[in-house]
Amino acid sequence: MAFELPPLPYPKDGLEPHMSAKTLEFHHGKHHKAYVDTLNKLVQDTPLAGQSLEQIIKATAKDESKTPIFNNAGQVWNHTFFWNGMKPRGGGAPSGDLAKRIDQAFGGLDKFKEQFKQAATTQFGSGWAWLVLDGGTLKVTKTANAMNPLVQGGTPLLTCDVWEHAYYLDFQNRRPDFVQTFLDHLVSWDFVAKNLSGAH
C-alpha cells in the first residue's frame, strides 16, 4: 500500500502568528507531499514496497545505492514527527516526569533550550535538531539532511526542522529567531512526554 501524506494535527492557520498558514501550505502541502510521492515512486515494485517507514529507513540507511529512498523515507518520517511535536498555544514548560528528566539532564528548561538552540543553529546547511532518549538519558543532537536518530539507536522525542524551507517565509534568514519561537510558543510537551513514556 502506498504511503499517504498525513493530515496536519491542527488547522493550517492553527500555529499563527508563530508559524504562518502560508509556511504550512508550502511546507506540508508541497515539500512533505513531494517526499511522500517520490518515496512511493522509488519503492514501487521493489521488495521495500509494503514495508513500514521505519523498516525502510533502517534497511536503506547504510546502503549508498539506496540513498534516494533513504532520503525520501527519512524526510517523510521526520516531517510527520515535526508536525506532531507542535501545537496551537504550545511552548510553556513541561511537567511531571519529563520536567524532572530535563532538569537532571540539562540543569533546567532554560539550559535545555540553550543546548537545543545551539544544535539547531550550528547544523551547517540542511538538517534537524533533536531531543532524544539515548542510553536512558535525555540528549540534544543534530542530524544532516534526512538523517534520523532511529538509525543511530536513539529514541526521538522531539525535532525541529532547520532546512531553510521551514522558516524562510516567516523569518527569512533568521534561523535563531525561528528556533526560539519553536521552543517558546510551538513545542507540544504532551507529545514529548508521550514519546518518553512509550520509550521506557
Q: Which residues bind Mn ion (CB under 5 A)?
A: 161, 163, 166
Least distance from Mn ion to the Cβ atom of residue 126, Å: 8
Least distance from Mn ion to the Cβ atom of residue 28, Å: 9
User: Which lies closer to Mn ion via its Cβ, residue 83 or residue 106?
Assistant: 83
C-alpha cell at 165: 524551507
CA dist 148 to 27, 63, 102, 143, Å? 19, 15, 21, 7
Least distance from Mn ion to the Cβ atom of residue 182, Å: 13
User: Which lies closer to Mn ion via its Cβ, residue 19 or residue 157?
Assistant: 19
User: Which lies closer to Mn ion via its Cβ, residue 132 or residue 166?
Assistant: 166
CA–CA gap between residue 89 and residue 112 (Å, rounded): 20
CA–CA gap between residue 118 and residue 59 (Å, rounded): 31
- Residue 139 has phi, psi (to 5 degrees) of -140, 155
> Could you write out the three-class secondary structure of 125-188?
CCEEEEEEEECCEEEEEEEECCCCHHHHCCEEEEEEECCHHHCHHHHCCCHHHHHHHHHHHHEC
Least distance from Mn ion to the Cβ atom of residue 3, Å: 16
Least distance from Mn ion to the Cβ atom of residue 162, Å: 9
CA–CA gap between residue 164 and residue 66 (Å, rounded): 25
User: Which lies closer to Mn ion via its Cβ, residue 161 or residue 170?
Assistant: 161
